Amino acid sequence: MSRTTTNSRRDFLKGAAVVGGASTLGACVGAQSGPSVTHTHSPSFYPKHNERTKGWMRFMWQKATTPDDWGYSEDIERPWGINLPRGDIDWTEDGNGPHPWWDQYNAPPMLSYPRFDLTDSSYVIMMMADQTPAWREAYTRILDELATRHTSYWAAIDWNSFIGPSPDRANYGPSNAPGAQAWPERVRGNYDSPGWTANGVEPWGLQPDPIGADGNLFFRGWLNLLLTIYKYVSGDDKWEKPWQIAGYENEKFEWTQPRIVEHLHRQYTDHPEGPQCENTKIWPFCNSAAGLGMYLSDKLGVTNSHGVFEEWIEFMRDNYMSINGQNQIEWMTMYYDPIAEFKVNIPGAGGTGAGTAFYLMPQSPETRHTDL
């Protein structure tokens, strides 16, 4: 792919500030309503962080640099969030698996995996690095630790271990399977819940590479976004060189960040409706995050790919949402199953609609004119 003209880090930040870290931006000095430290002299107007933000950064440094085990073992238990019933959370830190402080509990059964803590944490590191670029070495180290974990076996624990149809198909309903209230009667009792990746089902069969698979967009899309944020903050091309991802039964596959973008570009070219996350399910929320990673990769001059995603945005407007005469969203699609041929639509911008908008706004300014 050809290279494009690069924009400054601050230019991108102005567009991307709303993504993920908007709630934490309030902890930065520029957004606070009053002083957090009593000064004995005239305060400096150079960029800096307040005490709360520095405390969060210290905690992120501790999380990122404390060794824990994201590797493969033959006795790994199924993650808590996919189980029915789920039971109590085990907060024990025994050295097996990711440390409990990596969030693997929120938004089950789709997002209750520790890799989402890796990507979500990177947004605020990006913003903090723009505020105090002199600390780039510390920010780079944190982001590299996050990215390294995202290439491990545990990062793709769902794709690597949720093989075939879910054994709980008969037990899914609105209380434990998001969107189940909209499932057609013909699939109820014989359909996988969101979160069950179903690696191995037809027509794709078992695909051991969590990046190269047809499905699993919510793995490679967010991984690519994390790697581009690393590049944005550090200026380093480390992840543009070959590295390995751990797949099914710990088989290793070689990738580079630009190759992930090439794979995404092919998928959006071949499937204008968007790639699937769990096999059979297309989520606008996950697709919007994947597009942001492609956008940032282009802005950094690494790839030239986002044009095809802009076509997906048009497809989304025509097929995954309805806007009334007041420019308000009447409904949005939570997920679409092209195999079973049905959509789960949620009134207004509820469900994943607001999150989709957060990822789309930096890359699609027209989104801002829609009343969310």
pLDDT digits (tens, 9 = 90+) for 176-213: 999 999 999 999 999 999 999 999 999 999 999 999 99
Contact yes or no for 228/257 (Cβ under 8 A): yes
Predicted confidence (pLDDT) at residue 29 exceeds the cutoff of 80: no
Q: Are 57 and 128 in contact (CB under 8 A)?
A: yes
pLDDT at 328: 85
- Asked if 162 and 199 touch (Cβ cutoff 8 Å), the reply is yes
For tokens 């500030």, the residue is 17
Task: Write down the pLDDT at residue 40.
Answer: 56
**DSSP string covering 206-238, please?**
----TTTSSS-HHHHHHHHHHHHHHHHHH---G
* Mean per-residue pLDDT, 28-42: 47
Residue-by-residue DSSP string for 280-344: T-B-HHHHHHHHHHHHHHHHTTS---HHHHHHHHHHHHHHSEEE-TTSBEEEEEEEEETTTTEEE
Rounded to an integer, what distance in angstroms lies between the CA atom of residue 127 and that of residue 141? Answer: 15
pLDDT tens for residues 311-350? 999 999 999 999 898 888 899 999 999 999 999 999 988 7
| 119 vs 367, higher pLDDT | 119
Question: What is the chain's mean pLDDT, rounded?
Answer: 89
Query: Are 157 and 76 contacting, i.e. CB atoms less than 8 angstroms apart?
Result: yes
Averaged pLDDT for residues 230-253: 98
Q: pTM score, two decimals?
A: 0.88
Give per-residue pLDDT as tens, 102-141: 999 999 999 999 999 999 999 999 999 999 999 999 999 9
Residue 284: closest CA among 195, 337, 352, 226: 352
Q: How many other C-beta atoms can be found within 10 angstroms of the C-beta atom of residue 294?
A: 27
CATH class of 9-19+49-68+106-369: mainly alpha
The answer, yes or no, to whether residue 253 has pLDDT greater than 90, is yes
State whether residue 184 is helix, strand or coil: coil
pLDDT at 38: 53
